Structure 1
Amino acid sequence: MAEVEAERAPQRGGYAYPLWRRNDRPLSMDWTGPLYVFDIDNTYLLSEWTSFRDLLRLRFEAAEDKHPVPGAVELLAGLRRLQPDGERPAFYFVSASPNTMRGVLEKRMLIDGVLHDGITFRDLNRLRYLRDIFGYKLAALLLYRLENPRGAREFLFGDDREHDPLVYAVYTQMCAGTLRGPELLAELEAQGVRKSAQHYIVALADELPAHDPVQWVFIRRLRPGEPNEVERETPLPDRLLFLDDYGEAAAVLRALDLLNARAFREVLAAVRREGLGEQPLRLVRALGERLPAAGRERVEQEVQA
């Protein structure tokens, strides 16, 4: 992977959110292909922790000692393949890790053969932003949205630990134009976003045309079969799907013809090697007519083959 310098966020009103970012692939403004945005911790790489000691271990862990989520590498590779129209999908990562982790994480990506078109990390030289994962992720998502074509079809991936379900839900509302101005400020305040960052995010959102590009959101449960409090009690968009493993995500994406048969088999094999993947059709069957009939039938046949 070529070494490309990261940049700070652009300013609005004399302020820029403290982060480092890259966008290595300017897309044509008439581009309408799929655009995938992945979190890293617990979405691509296993990063579970229960104590401060665990956090220190993760901080100093070598790339060779990090392990991908079962099926993540196979899913990323499958989605990256050319679409039927010959287009290569766009891939971005938004990590809650600091920029000092960039070298280790990108080395792990090199080991796994994971490619991307852009990546964003936190700038934690300002420790007062340490807890503001919510504001950071919204700022990172909005900056990519402003740079990318209106017609790009976004698919978002995260986990149920670091605010991802709520972040993605608010992001879709901002894009659609249904959450802007004072109402957005109030939501950011409720989520503990710092005052200067609140106004920065509102300014970015105000630059967007009212258009929601998000097709589906995939949230990996850290504890399969155990919905957490956010999933149980928070009204969330019905296109936001909670997964027990990536076999379920692969089945939905296969039904949408975004994965080919080989990639689907590879994801299923990877999760099953780890004792997962018992119900790959759970989400496809639950979504029913929201997925193409031919796609549902194809997935059923391939799972049972």
Structure 2
Amino acid sequence: MAPHLFCQLLIIPHATVFARTGSTSHFINPPEEKIPDQDANINSVYRVGDIVNIAWSTSEGLVNLIINQDNSSLTELDYLPNSVALTQQSYSWKVTIDGSDGGSKFDIAKDNQFNFQLFKINGTKPVAFSTFFNITNSTVDQYGSAISTSRAPATLAASSPRSSGTNASTTTALPSFASSSARATSELPPVQLQDSSSSTTRVPLGAVLGVGVFICVVAALVAYFRLRQKPAQRGSHPSNDLAPQHSSRPYNELHEYPPGYWKAVTALNSSTRSTVQAVELPS
């Protein structure tokens, strides 16, 4: 680990080894360790990228701020970036474990429990200890266990159909993207049917109205022309009253005419006689 300081004396990270009688230094945030080897399940949890505002109180003029990984090597100290010879009693740290900030590099898969310690300048023993906290990221959970890929899509495993479940419960157990796809699939047919029916209702209605108007206009024109042609046809054909009626009976020279014909001839002869009498000269 770099940067680090090799100590000539064996350094034990737990506070119970050192006598604190008369110590005037203690941590404020995270709080001072009061219960050694406390249960890791109650530790504070910081995720990589979080900002931790560290605060302490000390009567020492200058101190070094150390970060200690539990179960790490006991012969080296790990520093935060620019955490040596501090005069202030606070420090803001963005949680980083890959050394990209200039601090030490840690493998939290080995152990994800850490605490802070204060050292005097050139001191070999801590003067203050903070409580332990856990660091987690996308590969290690807060309990220090590796996050496997099989545990990540937990919602997919929960969405498998159950023999006693209904389709509705199966749908709600799906992840959000699967549920949206299922809803889109189930809602798609009604939308298509509605659009199709509405379009077929509007378009044929206009077409039927147009065809109906056209048929009415054509019918009116045909009726008009037929009415005009009837008087002309009547004037072009002779009257049935004057047309001779043919009969199968033989012609009789003794003025025997077919039925219906003699009336027209008689009327004609009568008219002729009347006319002749009107112009007859006296003898």
Under TM normalisation by the shorter chain, which class is it? under 0.3
The two structures have a TM-score, normalised by structure 2, of 0.23
The two structures have a TM-score, normalised by structure 1, of 0.22
Greater Rg by CA: 2
